[in-house]
Homo-oligomer: A and B are copies of this chain.
Amino acid sequence: MNIGQAAKASGVSAKMIRYYEQTGLVSPAARSGAGYRTYAEKDVHTLRFIRRARDLGFSVEGIAELLALWRDRTRHSADVKDMALGHVAVLRKKITELEAMAQTLQSLASCCAGDERPDCPILKDIEDGTDGPARAPHRFGLLPDGGA
């Protein structure tokens, strides 16, 4: 199976498969005489694992750990659980931050007339910083959505 087939079968784009290979997340694929990467069912299985882990929000680095555990028949399920729960904590923290932003904005918006006049409590707040020293983060890229 060539990379295009593997991509379709696994839900990971060809571009990403090459990237994962390049960064060492997956081992280099076998090559055909012409230099084409060839994949077996087993490889697709791994790619699928990766995609699912990505869908659960794990970083590539986290996936590397997960893959290592997956392949280690002597693993302790406690280690996997720790990773999962640790990630849940990260997720929840992020959610909390996002929620704080949303709530602030929402309440600000509810004080805004939303008409043709210029007066706006939202801008006033951003300007004066009444929203507290909430050192919240930002920078959460919105899904370029590599279509499934």
Chain A residues close to B by CB (< 8 Å): 45, 48-49, 52-59, 66, 69-70, 72-78, 80-82, 84-85, 87-88, 90-92, 94-95, 98-99, 101-102, 104-106, 108-109, 112-120, 122-123, 125-127, 129, 131, 133-143, 145, 147-148
Contact = CB atoms under 8 A, between A and B. Distances in A.
Contacts of A76: 115-118
Contacts of A102: 88, 91-92, 95
Given A115-B76, A123-B70, A139 B143 contact: yes
Give the oligomeric copy count. 2
Contacts of A99: 91, 95
Given A49-B126, A118-B74, A81 B148 contact: no
A140 B140 contact: yes
Contacts of A122: 77, 80-81, 84
29 contacts: A48-B127, A49-B127, A52-B127, A55-B131, A55-B136, A56-B105, A56-B131, A57-B101, A66-B126, A70-B123, A74-B118, A76-B117, A77-B112, A77-B122, A78-B113, A78-B115, A80-B122, A80-B123, A81-B112, A82-B114, A85-B105, A88-B106, A88-B109, A91-B101, A94-B140, A95-B95, A95-B102, A137-B145, A138-B143
